[in-house]
Amino acid sequence: MKEGASHEFHRVGIIGMGYVGLTLAAAMARKGYEVHGVDVQPSVLESLGQGRAHVYEPGVEDAFAQLVGKNIFIASELPGEPVDAAIICVSTPVDEETHRPFLENLAAAAEHVAARCTHDTLVVVRSTVPVGTSRAVVLPQLTGVWGRARLVMAPERTVQGRALRELLELPQVVGGLDEDSLRLGLALFGGLAKQVVPVSSLEAAELVKLTNNCHTDVIYAFGNEVAELTERFGLDPLEVIKAANVDYPRPDIHKPGYVGGGCLSKDPYIMSSGAERVGYTPKLVGAARRLNEDLPVHVANRVVEMMRETGGTTLTVLGWAYKGWPPTDDMRGTPIATMMPVFAAAGLRILGHDPLVGADVIRAYGGEPVDVHTGFHDADAVLVITDHPDYRNLDVGRALDGSRVRLVFDSWRILDAAEIAARGVRYAGLGYLPAAAVTPVPAVAT
């Protein structure tokens, strides 16, 4: 494209065909863009090249099956002729021990863009990064080759299970290196979404994504804090939270639940990493993340304790993905990962079922794949981790008929508690242990 000419985006490169890049590729191809998807994993290239999605997300596989070879093209590198826009969607994981973000993928992607494109190409950072990273890591790779660059940061903010819809309906936040970059970024995403939201800088856009996800982590953590209290006071967290929310003109309190996934399990650490560079350590964000990470271990220990009381050593776990609604097969940040060492130390045999997670994955985590009927028939206790619709619709009375199950720990309280109790089976949930011995709350002196 000639300098100063009107930019009409037609050919778009997307580097990284993980969840973020894959869903964006499907959405943009549906909008008529010519999409060139890039990935370095042979298995991903082979699967996508045949029109098969390697991760579960409603609508994505249909889009690839219909459009691969037409306006979706998959390869290990960008095409020789520069694309109009190159969107970087590579993973930015955090180290399990140090919690420091791994940014080498981002730098490598920027280097590849610099080698295959020109300064006329609009470069978009879509990956989640510490504040300051687009300018400090991506920009030097581009200007070192081109001398100047057009660069924007446009964070991904979709929820799994609704990504294709939200890519069109959610406002797309765009921050630019300069006015020209911002104008082009708004034009690009204006061709995708109903609304675009310009912000003043790359850094502001980076912080928008982190603010959204860390806020979500914090509000979930408060619900879990309430559950920690009700468990010890012998109360019902759902009763307390429901009553607290009824017609109360303040923000609703979220019910307790596990908090995982590819974003919420790492973005607080990414926020902290960037903040520490400018001399600040986030306090609330760090505390919320620790509370949410501790919850699965706490539940696992409670289940082990209750199984010692009710008897037996075989536990069926229903739900191995990190969440059940909207349904996903994503294992990033799954509660079972930190629960399994507790179960193993207690000598439990773990049977596993998930409507979307494959048998090989369940085995890899140390479980024995079973169907739901076998899971109830062969177990001494059942732990429900996710609120998948299949479990919400489960006829638990029928499932318990003929089984030796003596304990059901229903994390999300989606099963019929009365039906379970009627069969002499102990019922419990997050922050809710009605059959447990509770130490009376000391009277307050007056």
Strands 172-176 and 150-153: antiparallel
- The pTM for the full model equals 0.92
Q: What is the pLDDT of residues 247-290, one digit of tens each?
A: 999 999 999 999 999 999 999 999 999 999 999 999 999 999 99
Domains for the chain: give ranges and CATH numbers: 11-202 (3.40.50.720), 210-287 (1.10.1040.10), 294-428 (3.40.50.720)
φ and ψ of 326, to 5 deg: -60, 150
- Taking alpha carbons only, the member of 229, 33, 264, 201 closest to residue 24 is 33
pLDDT per residue, tens digit, the chain (446 aa), is: 333 323 479 999 999 999 999 999 999 999 999 999 999 999 999 999 999 999 999 999 999 999 999 999 999 999 999 999 999 999 999 998 999 999 999 999 999 999 999 999 999 999 999 999 999 999 999 999 999 999 999 999 999 999 999 999 999 999 999 999 999 999 999 999 999 999 999 999 999 999 999 999 999 999 999 999 999 999 999 999 999 999 999 999 999 999 999 999 999 999 999 999 999 999 999 999 999 999 999 999 999 999 999 999 999 999 999 999 999 999 999 999 999 999 999 999 999 999 999 999 999 999 999 999 999 999 999 999 999 999 999 999 999 999 999 999 999 999 999 999 999 999 999 999 996 444 445 555 54
CA angle 134, 125, 139 (to 5 degrees): 40
Q: Is 201 in a helix, a strand, or coil? A: coil
- What are 201's two structure tokens? 């800088």
| Contact predicate 368/350, CB 8 Å | yes
H or E element: which one contains 69?
A: none
- Taking alpha carbons only, the member of 296, 166, 283, 270 closest to residue 213 is 270
φ and ψ of 397, to 5 deg: -60, -45
> In the block, which residue shows the tokens 């620790």?
290
| Contact predicate 213/204, CB 8 Å | no
| Contact predicate 376/403, CB 8 Å | yes
| Contact predicate 176/152, CB 8 Å | yes
Torsion sign (Cα): 127, 153, 198, 119: negative
Say how far apart CA 442 and CA 399 lie, in whole Å: 41
Torsion angle of the four alpha carbons 119, 124, 125, 127, in this order, in degrees rounded to the nearest 10: -140
- Taking alpha carbons only, the member of 9, 63, 76 closest to residue 37 is 76
pLDDT for position 8:
74
